[in-house]
Amino acid sequence: MSWYLFALLAFFLIGTQRFLYKVAASSGLSPSRTTFSFMLTVALLSGLLYSLQPAPLASPGWFLLLAVVNSASFVSATLAHIRALRHISAAVVFPVIRLNIVLVLLFSTLVLSESLSPWQWMGVGLSVLAFVLFSGPREEVSDAVRSARGKAWAQVGLATFAGAAASISSKLAAETGNLLAFIALSYALSTGFSWLAHIVAPAEGEEAAQRQAAATWLGIGIGVLNLAGFYCFLQALSLGPLAVVASINGMHFVVAVVLSVLLYRERPGKTVIAGIGVTVAALILLKGF
């Protein structure tokens, strides 16, 4: 199978995984229970795969620190995704959070001393424009709805920064050369963090409490899609050009948005559609030429 087919498979698998966040939110399922079963599924599967081909760790202390940062930030981003989708359209949530690539690029420039091309700086500028479009005028709503959306936007902000932290820690961990061990350890820790979040989380409503089994099964589905999508992504990277593969994968939010429009009848306004278009253009430019 060619790198392009692997990249397309990763695109659809990870995009579908993100759509299932929307399913969890719209169905009133427990975000913490869904996240816990998701993390546990990937931890068990990746741990099994690593046990078949174990390898020693070069710097165990540094490796563990990166895994802790990665798992805590990824769990936070996942929970924030689902909570934000309860009050804000998927057509807004997914593109805005995906722009965390700007934070990753800025970290690479300021901390790792990597340079950005003029095209990438144009992408940063378009990202700012996208934020302006997504935060444009909305219809008049009640104070209660406005308050709920304000809290949801706070979750979007959390998911954006946490997602950037997860990406940066993944990049640093990849340089250790033991990716499968990192996945297994990170998701094992993520399982613990998500269980802790489930215990300390405030009451999530009567409907969520009554549908624990549904949340568990949905989390398992998300976990299987996540592991399969990540495997295809790694295969595409091993066979094809990094810039192109990463750019294809960066567009996976489009799958989640399209499925939300088709299945949940979400109708994005003109400014949101323009924001999605600007986001796609920004992601293309941010890969560099």
CB 90 within 8 A of CB 22: yes
Task: Tell me the pLDDT tens digit for each residue of 170-204.
Answer: 777 777 767 778 888 888 998 888 888 777 766 55
Cα torsion through 5, 10, 13, 14, rounded to 10: -160
Q: Measured between alpha carbons, how far is 65 from 96 in angstroms, rounded to an integer?
A: 28
Report whether pLDDT(142) > 60.
no
pTM of the predicted protein model: 0.72
| Cβ–Cβ under 8 Å, residues 92 and 256 | no
State pLDDT tens for residues 20-75. 988 888 888 888 788 889 889 999 998 898 888 887 777 788 888 989 998 999 88
CA 249 to chain centre: 11
**Mean pLDDT, range 130-158, rounded to an integer:** 67
In whole angstroms, give the CA distance from residue 48 to residue 113. 37
pLDDT band at 221 (very low <50, low <70, confident <90, very high): very high
At 137, which amino acid appears? P
Domain boundaries, the chain: 3-286
- 250 or 15, which is more confident? 15
Please name which of 18, 155, 12, 98 lies closest in space to residue 282, comparing C-alpha atoms.
98
Residue-wise pLDDT for 253-263, tens only, equals 778 878 887 88
| 284 has pLDDT over 60 | yes
CB 168 within 8 A of CB 104: yes
Report the alpha-carbon distance of residue 245 to residue 262 in Å, rounded: 27
Q: What is the DSSP letter of 29?
A: -
pLDDT at 20: 92
3-state helix, strand, coil in the chain (%, to 5): 80, 0, 20
The whole-angstrom separation of Cα 187 and Cα 55 is: 18
